[in-house]
């Protein structure tokens, strides 16, 4: 099945960021609401869920799903020590072999 979705303007993009209200099951529910509103209104609505929810959200809706950017290690090294100490563990967890 072809999962590529046509993107038309106007486009409303809802970025879930890392809000708890848009995580896991809540993120899927929010994406389903956006999907229904898109169908009802005829306006293209896309969502950008958290990285860990990409697969689940993509399988649950027909609207476009975008991935958020995750900074690589070299980018993280330009952050302040506080930013690096908060972000580096996430980068390591997402990139290390399982």
pLDDT score of 8: 80
In a domain, 1, yes or no: no
DSSP secondary structure, 40-98, as one string: HH--EEEEE--GGGHHHHHHH-SS-B-PPP---HHHHTTS-HHHHHHHHHHHHHHHS--
pLDDT score of 19: 86
Low-confidence ranges of the chain (pLDDT < 70): 1-6, 70-98
Domain of residue 34 covers 7-67
pLDDT score of 32: 97
CA distances from 82 to 67, 78, 86, 91, 92 (A): 25, 11, 6, 15, 16
Number of domains in the chain: 2
Tokens (6 digits) for 79: 């952050």
pLDDT score of 59: 94
Q: Same domain, yes or no, for 85 and 44?
A: no
């Amino acid at each position: 099945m072809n999962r590529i979705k046509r993107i038309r303007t106007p486009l409303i993009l809802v970025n879930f960021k890392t809000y708890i209200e848009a995580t896991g099951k809540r993120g899927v529910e929010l994406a389903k609401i956006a999907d229904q509103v898109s169908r009802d209104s005829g306006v293209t609505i896309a969502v950008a869920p958290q990285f860990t929810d990409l697969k689940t959200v993509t399988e649950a809706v027909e609207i476009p799903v975008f991935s958020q950017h995750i900074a690589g290690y070299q980018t993280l090294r330009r952050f302040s020590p506080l930013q690096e100490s908060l972000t580096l563990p996430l980068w390591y967890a997402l990139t290390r072999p399982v």
